[in-house]
Amino acid sequence: MSTSKRPFFRYSIIQLETIVEKRQAHEDMSDILYELSFRRTSRAKTLQKKLSNGDYKSDVKKPTPSIISNQSQQKSLNADATKGVKRSLSEYIPLIVIILIVGYLII
């Protein structure tokens, strides 16, 4: 498929929202609207409606946080997940001990 007819073909919806946010209100948005006409996600349809109505500047989502803040959030989530695993494993220790004892008695 030729991307000359659809210059934003490979852009994610986040990238399209960023482009819309950076453009001035008086600039032409027909190229973005054209690309959004091929998109089927609810987020794309929502942006398409906002562009068609002209009220996109106030409601377009802000660009995603930087990679650095994403990495720190990921580390935080990983630390929380690890704590959860340790906590849940400790709950199974009595069960594991009972299974080992019963297994030893059967053999």
Could you tell me if residue 6 is inside a domain? no
**74 in the same domain as 55:** no
Could you tell me if residue 96 is inside a domain? yes
pLDDT at residue 70 in the model: 57
- In whole angstroms, what is the distance from residue 65 CA to residue 26 CA? 27
**34 in the same domain as 55:** yes
Q: Which residue has the higher pLDDT, 35 or 74?
A: 35
Q: DSSP letters along the chain, please?
A: --SSS-TTTT--HHHHHHHHHHS-TTS--HHHHHHHTT--SHHHHHHHHHHHHT-HHHHSPPPPPPHHHHHHHHHHHHHHHHHHHHHHHHHHHHHHHHHHHHHHHH-
User: What residue numbers bound the domain in which 40 lies?
Assistant: 13-59
pLDDT at 82 over 70: no
pLDDT at residue 89 in the model: 67
**101 in the same domain as 74:** yes
pLDDT at 39 over 90: yes
Could you tell me if residue 4 is inside a domain? no
Could you tell me if residue 1 is inside a domain? no
18 token code pair: 């960023």
Number of domains in the chain: 2
Could you tell me if residue 100 is inside a domain? yes
- In whole angstroms, what is the distance from residue 74 CA to residue 91 CA? 26
Q: Across the chain, what does the average pLDDT equal? A: 78
Q: 0.95 cut: is pTM over it? A: no
pLDDT at residue 84 in the model: 54
- In whole angstroms, what is the distance from residue 39 CA to residue 46 CA? 11
Cβ atoms of 13 and 44 within 8 Å: the answer is yes
